[in-house]
Amino acid sequence: DAKTTQPTSMDCAEGRAANLPCNHSTISGNEYVYWYRQIHSQGPQYIIHGLKNNETNEMASLIITEDRKSSTLILPHATLRDTAVYYCIVRVGHNAGNMLTFGGGTRLMVKP
Amino acid sequence: GAVVSQHPSWVICKSGTSVKIECRSLDFQATTMFWYRQFPKQSLMLMATSNEGSKATYEQGVEKDKFLINHASLTLSTLTVTSAHPEDSSFYICSARARTGVGEQFFGPGTRLTVL
């Protein structure tokens, strides 16, 4: 699976959009970009995933660059409950049958 | 969404004792379950992968005789930390991959183990 690079930490004001970047310059054509988050002392929570098109769901939007070498997770209106570590993971789809490999992630702190 | 539970949510034990952690998929059948370990301020590290009815596959550096994994059914996997020591104190998290659908992984809430 391709390696990802994320900033160690970010701050965001409550109510503002949180934009979390991820670099995955070695991504292969059949690899998806997944985002999970982990609130303190809880298990990871799936947020969103995509292959090459931008994706949106009730939690967030995922913007993937045309060359697929980077992506951005957008939380449109961050709340204090969005404070968590956000993990960007690249792997070959759900059915690869393999584990998710977690990197260091980005610690997002939403401040009032 | 699919729910994965873990029991207990936290446990404190004496050094040398064994501790069993259960991971259950509550509303789906899981062909594969994964066990992760997370030390404070670190990321999740995969310990082992277990498939129902077969032996678990352990990651390099994880002692299979110390961390016993049993995946007896499509909804239950257990991790037993044998002869636990203080350095085994950690946050243990399981995830389950659904048998049907697209096979996404769902994570349990984690179990915090403290060995005195």
Instruction: Say how far apart CA B105 and CA A47 lie, in whole Å.
Output: 12
Q: Strands A70-75 and A18-23, how do they pair? A: antiparallel
Residue A34: band (very low, low, confident or very high) from pLDDT cuts 50, 70, 90? very high
pLDDT for residue B101: 62
Q: What is the mean pLDDT of residues A66-86?
A: 97
Q: For residue A111, give both structure tokens.
A: 């401040």
pLDDT for residue A8: 96
Query: Considering chain B, what percentage of its residues have pLDDT values greater than 70?
Result: 96
- Which parts of B5-116 fold into alpha helices (H)? none
Which residues, including other chains, have CB under 8 Å from residue B60's CB and lie 6 or more apart? none
More confident residue, A95 or B34: B34
pLDDT for residue A109: 98
Is A97 a residue whose pLDDT tops 70?
Answer: no
pLDDT for residue A91: 84
Residue in A42, A46, A87 closest to B104 by CB: A46
- For chain B, strand residue ranges (E) read 4-7, 10-13, 19-25, 30-38, 45-51, 57-58, 67-73, 76-81, 90-98, 105-107, 111-115
Contacts of B46 in chain A (CB under 8 A): 99, 101
Residue in A44, A93, A94 closest to B107 by CB: A44
Q: For residue B97, give both structure tokens.
A: 């991959």
Q: How many CB atoms lie within 10 A of CB B51?
A: 16
pLDDT for residue B109: 96
Q: What is the mean pLDDT of residues A60-85?
A: 97
pLDDT for residue B17: 97
SS3 of A95, please? helix
